[in-house]
Amino acid sequence: MLLFLSVPQPRPPGARTRAGAARVAWWRRQRLRRQQLRRLRGLLRGLRGRPGAGSRRRGRMALCGQAAGAASLPSELIVHIFSFLPAPDRLRASASCSHWRECLFYPALWPQLRICLRVSPAEQPRLEFLMRKCGWFVRELRVEFAAENYLSGGGGPGDGSGADTGTGGEEVEALQLSTRWLEVLRTYLELVLCVLVSIRNNRIQQLFEEILSNSRQLKWLSCGFMLEIVTPTSLSSLSNSIANTMEHLSLLDNNIPGNSTLITTVELERFVNLRSLALDFCDFTAEMARVLTDSNHVPLQRLSLLVHNVSVMHKSLDNMPNDEHWKALSRKSTSLRVYIMAFDIKSEDMLKILKPSIPLERIHFDSYITCVSGAIVDLISRQYDKFLTHFILMNDVIDTSGFPDLSDNRNEDPLVLLAWRCTKLSLLAIHGYTVWAHNLIAIARLRGSDLKVLEVTEESIDFDQGELADQDVDPVHNLIEQVSLGLGQPWHAVMDIESLSVFTEPNRHFYREMQSFSEDI
């Protein structure tokens, strides 16, 4: 069977047609054009000082030959870019498009805000706008009024200086100055009132902790990427009685600084009825795994882990569970299933993370800098063949030589082996890695109708020279037909990449999938 999978599928004989040859030529031209666009975007990012931080592919734009714009970048990447810029440059960069303007006022970018104003009614609209955007979350606010805007008794045209006006003139000048001071004072108080009214509602963290402390029947607490509302001390607001009855807990935030964690092992000991848990992988330690296997804890059934390169850089992997801990968790709950999203993780780190005894059901790779290797895909197909149902492989690394080919220097394509070994595979999504047409047909035939979702971007699909040289059959039409037959349903490559959240907003996609994954219990 393996030998059968490694060679192109036999094609039915057909008449040589000009239409078929033209279709092949069109496919090749479009692929070359998309590769040129990728190189151009890579050069532009290099000039901007962000090598390796790629934008998501826009299938429709690629087909039309237009360059993908700044609006195609995911929100997380735009916020990350803004974090390196001083405030004036952020404002200038936000003028690029509406999507960038929406990302400008992400709370993590403005923990401190300094506003310089003139005491003038003309400043009020600007101040109201800033307070409406930042007033509800800013932690330190400094408002300064320009000193030259305050009135003084002397100097300036029309104030009567330089002439002896006499006693009557002095009284008139004093009255005018008093009136102008009253106007300035009123304007000043209006501006201050605008600030105070806006920050009156700056109690998000406090309100969140009040909700937790006042809860009486809380069963499900899911906090994912909540603009730093959740802090390492938030869970202490929960009473022991509520913690003891909680069934689902999700604490995901890749913006927590340094070695801080949203939950400690001591806190986790209170959640004895927890059936579903979602954490940053670096926060899930061996001690936590031990706590979850204690006899006073109910069996954990769903575990979702986010492995983010930012966390791995600031936190150590030395405290993660070893294979014995995973075996103990699996013995405690035979129905335990794990969902992992790995965001820009190096292959050597993934080899440490992927312990053989993890009951891995879903895995999602997303890369901007580091590509997934064929060895990792092969390891997953061998270790998790009894559990794996969802496999998502995304890559946006700019490489002038084209998309990486996982089958290089291998007898068999790792993706085909994945489909062959993982008999429960129901979802396979691929972008940014070369998928040969004959291998795609083999995957569809191996899994058949059990593979409910097969999403491959059309720019990731390539044909070998033999397929392109044989003009008896239109290779594009043959690919669509053979994959559709294999799956038992109509199939087409993904043309509009932005229609799928898994390609454009990976964090949001992971959070939604984690929710449904946990609800399965």
- Residue with the bigger pLDDT between 21 and 212: it is 212
Average pLDDT, whole number, for the chain? 78
Can you list the positions of beta strands (E) in 39-181?
112-117, 140-145
Mean pLDDT confidence for 43-55: 41
Spatial contact of 457 and 57, defined as CB atoms under 8 Å apart: yes
Can you list the positions of beta strands (E) in 419-517?
427-431, 435-436, 453-456, 461-462
Alpha carbon distance 8, 466 (integer Å) = 9
Does position 59 have pLDDT exceeding 50, yes or no? no
Q: Is 17 helix (H, G, I), strand (E, B) or coil?
A: coil
Domain 71-109 has CATH 1.20.1280: yes
pTM of structure: 0.67
Confidence band, pLDDT 50/70/90 cuts, at residue 77:
confident
Q: pLDDT at position 6, please?
A: 29
Q: Is 416 helix (H, G, I), strand (E, B) or coil?
A: helix
Domain positions in the chain are 71-109, 116-147+182-214, 218-519
Short-list 250, 255, 257, 254, CA closest to 235 = 250
Can you list the positions of beta strands (E) in 444-505?
453-456, 461-462
Confidence band, pLDDT 50/70/90 cuts, at residue 297:
very high
Residue 185, CA distances (Å) to 188, 378, 474 in order = 5, 73, 80
Alpha carbon distance 82, 89 (integer Å) = 8
Helix axes 374-383, 414-421, angle to 10 degrees: 10
Question: What tokens appear for 311 in the block?
Answer: 């966390």
Spatial contact of 339 and 366, defined as CB atoms under 8 Å apart: no
Q: pLDDT at position 408, please?
A: 77
Question: What tokens appear for 330 in the block?
Answer: 């699996």
Alpha carbon distance 3, 10 (integer Å) = 13
- Residue with the bigger pLDDT between 339 and 177: it is 339
- Could you tell me what percent of the chain has a pLDDT over 70? 73
Alpha carbon distance 399, 35 (integer Å) = 9
Short-list 93, 92, 91, 128, CA closest to 110 = 91
Q: What is the amino acid identity at position 242? A: I
Alpha carbon distance 109, 120 (integer Å) = 28
pLDDT in tens, 310-357: 888 888 888 999 999 999 999 999 999 999 999 889 999 999 999 999
Q: pLDDT at position 156, please?
A: 40
* Dihedral of the alpha carbons of 284, 285, 290, 294, in degrees to the nearest 10: -30
Domain 218-519 has CATH 3.80.10.10: yes
Spatial contact of 412 and 450, defined as CB atoms under 8 Å apart: no
Tallying the residues shown for the chain, one arrives at 521
Number of other CB atoms surrounding residue 29 within 10 Å:
11
